[in-house]
Amino acid sequence: MSAFTVTRSRFLKTAVGFLAGLPFASRLRAGLPAPPVAGSRTRSVVVASANGLTAIERVYQLLANNSDTLEAVVAGVNMVEDDPEDMSVGYGGLPNEQGVVELDAAVMHGPSHKAGAVAALRNIKNPSSVAKLVMETTDHVLLVGEGALQFARAHGFKEQDLLTEKARKTWLEWKQNLSPKDDWLAPPQEDEKVGAAELFNRSTGTIHCAALNNRGEISCVTTTSGLEFKIPGRVGDSPIIGAGLYVDNDVGSCGSTGRGEANLQNLCSFHAVELMRGGRSPKDAGLEVLRQVVSHTREDRLLDKKGRPDFGLKFYLLGRNGSYAGVSMWGPAKFAVADEKGARLEECAFLYAKED
């Protein structure tokens, strides 16, 4: 190590130490976040996508029983991953184009600023729990495909076929209707339809859940079966830290559901948290990242006749002070929240109103 390096690193340490000790107003002027106040109390708040309404009751209860925020949110989303009726997450999730369910999930723990994720994971119904173990027991952040499956097996997760009859029939109906020029004959119109109402309007779904406890600690999780009928191996935004979710414990968190590709091209969750660090409210930060997605969406195939993004994208934001918001490209739309007033659905702020 050169004398210069030593001097420089000492200088940096001294500078960082000096900045950390600055009074609040000076920290603000220096562009630094407000430091967590030792022993400061906040209220507990849980936010989630609308399909997490039941889960957040459990998460809130766990927070009241002093569970760690990450333990609580993962226990909450496990309920949705286990539910065969939710066709966007875990067991019963819609499969890829070959009829195989592939799951993505990520977790982030605010107090330690650690993260873990898995992508394109097959046969394991709780990818969020595997993502948590990646964070807790490895030096890595993201494991994919076969490696993620081997890691899950090593930790004793049981493999199972995640494709329910309902999901299989929905996939088959999609496949049979793909092209009039192949050998898969479309079922007669009068046949009972089992799944997707609009076959060619690709639907998405996911659960994101974030929790703030009364010690000011925040953690979050996003888990999904991703875009239905995707190309095998496709990874969405959900397991990508900074896109599908992000938390900075001094500031707040953000997570997403909706068109993953649009989020991946804009790294929206990280951006939203940074906007909140700069003083924006959760709602304003969320709407601002949606506007940025709009301005970056330039392909005609992704725009409607009025030039608006022809896809859904939502963000769920939680501030360290207990403020929160759900924002959506298209409204009306709802998100789930639990606090001292109970668990409920609230309206998202949105950019564009759906026309009937």
Measured from the CB of residue 71, what is the shortest distance to ligand ASP in angstroms? 23
Give the whole-angstrom CA distance, residue 29 versus residue 144.
Answer: 42
Q: Which is nearer to ligand ASP, 217 or 237 (CB)?
A: 237
Q: Read off the amino acid at residue 52.
A: G
Q: Which is nearer to ligand ASP, 258 or 326 (CB)?
A: 258
Q: Which is nearer to ligand ASP, 78 or 206 (CB)?
A: 206
Measured from the CB of residue 286, what is the shortest distance to ligand ASP in angstroms? 15
Give the whole-angstrom CA distance, residue 247 versus residue 110.
Answer: 6
Tokens at 22, concatenated = 């600055």
User: For residues 327-351, b (16+ Cβ closer than 10 Å) or e, as one string?
Assistant: bbbbbebbbbbbbeeebeeeebbbb
Measured from the CB of residue 263, what is the shortest distance to ligand ASP in angstroms? 7
Q: Which is nearer to ligand ASP, 63 or 229 (CB)?
A: 229
Enumerate residues 6+ apart whose C-beta is below 8 A from 303: 297, 309, 310
Q: In terms of DSSP bridges, do strands 207-212 and 45-49 run parallel, antiparallel, or are they unpaired? A: antiparallel
Q: Catalytic residue at 222?
A: no
Q: Which is nearer to ligand ASP, 63 or 289 (CB)?
A: 289
Q: Which is nearer to ligand ASP, 216 or 260 (CB)?
A: 260
- Pick the catalytic residue: 204, 206, 222, 223? 204
Q: In terms of DSSP bridges, do strands 45-49 and 103-109 run parallel, antiparallel, or are they unpaired? A: unpaired
Among 74, 324, 336, smallest CA distance to 222 is for: 74
Q: How many CB atoms lie within 10 A of CB 141?
A: 17
> Residue 129, SS3?
helix
Measured from the CB of residue 38, what is the shortest distance to ligand ASP in angstroms? 37
Measured from the CB of residue 206, what is the shortest distance to ligand ASP in angstroms? 3
Is the Cβ–Cβ distance between 239 and 264 less than 8 Å?
no
Q: How many CB atoms lie within 10 A of CB 91?
A: 23
Measured from the CB of residue 327, what is the shortest distance to ligand ASP in angstroms? 14
Measured from the CB of residue 225, what is the shortest distance to ligand ASP in angstroms? 8
Q: Which is nearer to ligand ASP, 213 or 222 (CB)?
A: 222
Q: What angle do CA 120, 123, 124 make, to 5 degrees?
A: 85
**DSSP H helices in 49-144:** 53-64, 69-82, 127-137
Enumerate residues 6+ apart whose C-beta is below 8 A from 322: 42, 43, 45, 212, 339
Q: State phi, psi for 309 to the nearest 5 degrees.
A: -55, 130
Question: What residues line the site for ligand ASP (CB under 6 A)?
Answer: 88, 204-206, 224, 226-227, 236-238, 257-258, 260
Tokens at 35, concatenated = 């430091």
Which residues does the annotation mark as catalytic?
204
